[in-house]
Structure 1
Amino acid sequence: MTKKVMIKGDIVDDQTAGFYQFFGMPAVSPSGVADVLNDDSGDDNDNDDDDDDDEELEVDIASNGGDVFAASEIYTMLKNYAGNVTVNIQGLAASAASVVAMAGDHINISPTAQIMIHKAWSQPAGNADDLDHEASILNGIDQSIASAYEAKTGMEQADLLQLMANETWLTANDAVDKGFADEIMFADDQQLQPVNAISHIPPKSAVNKLMNLIYKADKDKDKNKNKDKDKVKPSKKENTTNDQSAELRNSKLAILFDKNQKEAN
């Protein structure tokens, strides 16, 4: 049984969540996510196996963001989750919600959804020294946020900080192209595929997986070309290429045998 976490409404700390609940406003807090992750009520077995710890987890996101540190708590919990985490960006994953999204092992995005990233902000008050101090705090927060994007996309942090400074809105295609998402949802996987043949025709789901695999391989190849050749020893570069070839081969086998990529590796 797959567990489901809903990131809907504002992302707030646990105390503020009580305020939202009182007025019936949608919100998500770290304790609410923890409750789902720790919920074993769906167990039908009384054994002491650790299978429940490896249970699949789906995270549905449609949120304008919220508290940076509450989002950091949620991100950390999802990254520490033992099972596979699939994130589905259904609407807007903005600001802090985009950070939570980066915790997924696999990130899907609806063709009509967007990811918005920007620099953190606050409402400071005080003298010039106070404002300088606040600015240094915000710069540190921006670097922490960019670290989550960097871990997922592989982009340079300086480039990510510039995207954040520009308040960048990413369409589904942009998100996949830059590595913020792995796949666009509903990419004809469920499309009716009438067949009149005596041979086996690959399903659309396998075709789409292959297209995503080819895209990832091409992106990794371009990234290696842009690296400074003087800083990379030939033997290390050769080993990297061999590792990527092995990963590509294993991924192809996973698609053919309808297994997920983790099992293949």
Structure 2
Amino acid sequence: MKLDVNGMITNNDDAEIYRDWLGVTVTSPADILDNLPTDGSDVEIGINSGGGEVDAANEIYTALRNYPGKVITKIESSAYSAASIIAMAGDTVQISPVAQLMIHNASTYVGGNHNDLDKTSNALKSTDKAIAKAYSVKTGRPVDEFLDLMDKESWIGADDALELGLVDEVMTFEKEPITNSISTVLPQKVLNRVKKLIGENKKLKNNATNSQPSEHDKLVQAKLAILNGGE
């Protein structure tokens, strides 16, 4: 089964407002959790998202990590911000050669006195560490390494993501193999010659007598020769 993380990542309560009232493409935890296979079969998660709410992304990440079957996350174009957290949930993480991840510090809006601002600052720092932990668990690299990358707002292409260990595979796209099977479409030149022979055949049938079976046989042989590449 394939499920998609598209558009903005938001919570379950707000998803209906964005989707039905504003016409915005969103993904909520329920969109993924409620549609996971019940038999534990393998699942693919296609990711094309600019990110969104960290808590919603964390809920999806945890559910996928707990899922008993194999999870393949596929970064098809973008896994930015919170979407990059979900990408880390795959047992195998794949990325298109033209796709990117973007990781950065968490942000929010706040008002109030200095105590309120200090509390929010501490909450954001804690959130950053939690996000960096997802990257660290996937790669085996230190949390501080990803905190530094997040602090710089890092855009990471396919090859760099593979080198960092954020992905396991860069997707490859193989063309269908060429076979030596005979095409069912005949060249127009051959079709024209066959049409001519059919017309001659009709004339022969109209004028046929018991003394003319050999001419008909010759015409049949001529048709077969054309279809087999002869003259």
With normalisation by structure 1, the TM-score equals 0.65
1:157 aligns with 2:143: yes
Q: What is the correspondence of 1:149-188 to structure 2 with a 5 Å cutoff?
A: 149-186=135-172
Shift of 1:106: 0.4
Contact 1:4 / 1:36 at 8 angstroms: preserved in 2? no
Q: What is the correspondence of 1:111-190 to structure 2 with a 5 Å cutoff?
A: 111-186=97-172, 190=174
Q: Between Structure 1 and Structure 2, whose CA radius of gyration is higher?
A: 2
Q: What is the correspondence of 1:62-101 to structure 2 with a 5 Å cutoff?
A: 62-101=48-87
- Give me the identity figure in percent: 42
1:155-206 deviation digits (Å, cap 9, x = unpaired): 11111100000000000001001011111111x5x246779xxxxxxxxxxx
Q: Name the counterpart of 1:19.
A: 17
Shift of 1:120: 0.1
1:196-249 deviation digits (Å, cap 9, x = unpaired): xxxxxxxxxxxxxxxxxxxxxxxxxxxxxxxxxxxxxxxxxxxxxxxxxxxxxx
With normalisation by structure 2, the TM-score equals 0.74
SS at match of 1:120: coil
Contact 1:93 / 1:101 at 8 angstroms: preserved in 2? yes
1: CA distance, partners of 2:136 / 2:121: 22
Q: Name the counterpart of 2:212.
A: none
1: CA distance, partners of 2:84 / 2:74: 11
Shift of 1:7: 0.3
Aligned length: 178
SS at match of 1:135: helix
2: CA distance, partners of 1:73 / 1:88: 18
SS at match of 1:89: strand
Q: Note the residue ranges of structure 2 that are not aligned, 5 or more in a row.
A: 180-231
1: CA distance, partners of 2:31 / 2:5: 10
Q: Name the counterpart of 2:28.
A: 29
1:4 to 2, 5, 9: 2
Contact 1:153 / 1:178 at 8 angstroms: preserved in 2? yes
CA RMSD of aligned residues (A): 1.5
Shift of 1:128: 1.3
Q: Name the counterpart of 1:212.
A: none
Q: Note the residue ranges of structure 1 that are not aligned, 5 or more in a row.
A: 41-51, 196-265
2: CA distance, partners of 1:153 / 1:72: 18
Shift of 1:35: 1.5
User: Match of 2:24, as an amino acid?
Assistant: M
User: Match of 1:154, as an amino acid?
Assistant: G
Q: Name the counterpart of 1:102.
A: 88
1: CA distance, partners of 2:33 / 2:58: 13
2: CA distance, partners of 1:193 / 1:5: 29
Shift of 1:34: 1.3
Q: Name the counterpart of 2:229.
A: none
SS at match of 2:51: coil
Shift of 1:24: 2.2
User: Match of 1:37, as an amino acid?
Assistant: L
1:132-159 deviation digits (Å, cap 9, x = unpaired): 1110000000010011000001111111
SS at match of 1:104: coil
2: CA distance, partners of 1:58 / 1:192: 23
1:2-34 deviation digits (Å, cap 9, x = unpaired): x22210000000011011122221101011111
